[in-house]
Amino acid sequence: MSRSKSSYQAFIAATTLLVASSLPGTAQDDDALVKRGEYLMNGPVACGNCHDTRAEDMSPVPGKEFAGGFRIVDTGIDAYAANITQDAETGIGTWTDEEIITAIREGTTPEGDIIFPPMPVPSYNMMSDDDVKAIVAYLRTVKGVHNEVPESTYGFPQQPMPPAKGEPAPDPSDQVAYGGYIVNALSHCFECHTGPDANGVPDFANALGAGGFMIQLAPGAVVSTPNITSDPETGLGKWSDEDIKKAITQGVRPDGTHLSPPMPFPFFANMTPEDLDAVVAYVRTIPPIVNKVERTEFQKTAFP
Ligand code: HEC
Ligand code: HEC
């Protein structure tokens, strides 16, 4: 796939259309903030899916949570996930809270560098102030790991996201709206599961959730994302709620086959039952799109 300047701009324009609705939130004390951040990062937000240091076999290296170095290669992109531990030299230990928040939701560093794609900053742009502060509060508690990460290179001009609105998340009692907030602003399901346009970037306007997006895990290891719309034949229309939950949390389909990375199911396994229910309720509302996606040979052989 290629990300030319114009297709990249279309990608940004399209992603800014994904807007979560909002209701007033509540203030939280410091402990509650750290706990919320820990839950978000180990659960629905799954920053470690990219930021944990990984061994050759893709498994996270113990003691190197968030220490970076995972390489993501795509047309025009050769990116290394940054060290986001508190190490002052190689991590973000000297950054202010505001600087970290700006990096997450708008995609710029204090030096003015732009850090995405592939980091799903367009999704995080919709994150509430409470949740982004909780993530920073938790990051402050993670021990610093000294790990120098190579520089990322981009073969196209990057653009930051506009200033985040920071609107409160919908009230969890509105299950579909809250599920939409998790899916769109936290778990960035659509940045992987939306079908590509002619330029290979997710076509949010026409193929939301339709799958068929190609992700390269390593040279020769390409995976395709499935259709998660409610189409009964090519999507999840005939799956039960339990089927969807089992795929999301255990990485196992109704037919017993296994999901490949980068689907973050080891993180989604830590979601609360209420949040999972909300995700499923929202996923049920994704308008059906007929699009049969074949798994790649790599997926079929490595994750039967
Ligand atoms: C799809 C992979 C991916 C996900 C998910 C992701 N990131 Fe990143 N992130 C990256 C990459 C790659 C870079 C480095 C970009 C560069 O060097 O230009 C980065 C850079 C950063 C930086 C800048 C650090 C620096 O030293 O420049 C911060 C802060 C950050 N990410 C925080 C987060 C947080 C917090 C989350 C979860 C809310 C997250 N990221 C989720 C891939 C990801
Ligand atoms: C980083 C990319 C990524 C993200 C984020 C992601 N997925 Fe996935 N997902 C995948 C890939 C790749 C597969 C297919 C793996 C395979 O076929 O081996 C998959 C598989 C699935 C499946 C199984 C469907 C089928 O027909 O086999 C479901 C259901 C699913 N994802 C739902 C979700 C939901 C809901 C979210 C957000 C909460 C989400 N995914 C976030 C990449 C992702």
Q: What CATH fold (topology level) applies to the domain 5-11+22-154? A: Cytochrome Bc1 Complex; Chain D, domain 2 (1.10.760)
Q: How many helices (H) and strands (E) does the chain have?
A: 12, 5
Residue pair 278/178 in contact (Cβ under 8 Å)? The answer is yes
Q: How many CA atoms lie within 13 A of 242 on its CB side?
A: 1
Global model pTM greater than 0.85: yes
CA of 29 to the centre of ligand 2 (A): 34
* Residue ranges around ligand 2 (CB below 6 Å): 183, 187-189, 192-193, 215, 223, 225-226, 228, 236, 244, 247-248, 253, 259-260, 262-264, 279, 283, 295, 299, 303
Residue pair 24/168 in contact (Cβ under 8 Å)? The answer is yes
- Per-residue model confidence (pLDDT) at position 22: 32
Q: Which is it for the CA torsion 14, 12, 267, 136, positive or negative?
A: negative
> What's the rounded Cα separation, in Å, for the pair 112 and 125?
17
Query: Rounded to 5 degrees, what are φ and ψ at 191?
Result: -65, -20
- The preferred substitution site among 90, 119, 184 for testing ligand 1, maximizing ligand atoms within 8 Å of CB, is 119
CA 275 vs CA 79, 179, 254, 279, 303: distances in Å? 31, 7, 21, 6, 27
Ligand 1 atom nearest to 188, measured from its CA: 5
Spell out the per-residue pLDDT of the chain, length 304, in tens. Answer: 333 333 333 333 333 333 333 333 444 478 999 999 999 999 999 999 999 999 988 889 999 999 999 999 888 899 999 999 999 999 999 999 999 999 999 999 999 999 999 999 999 999 999 999 999 999 999 999 999 999 999 999 999 999 999 999 999 999 999 999 999 999 999 999 999 998 888 999 999 999 999 998 888 889 999 999 999 999 999 999 999 999 999 999 999 999 999 999 999 999 999 999 999 999 999 999 999 999 999 999 999 9
Axis crossing angle, helix 273-283 with helix 241-250, rounded to the nearest 10: 120
Q: Domain spans of the chain?
A: 5-11+22-154, 175-302
Ligand 2 atom nearest to 215, measured from its CA: 12
> What's the rounded Cα separation, in Å, for the pair 209 and 68?
29
* Residue ranges around ligand 1 (CB below 6 Å): 45, 47, 49-51, 72, 79, 81-82, 84, 92, 100, 103-104, 109, 115, 118-120, 124, 135, 152
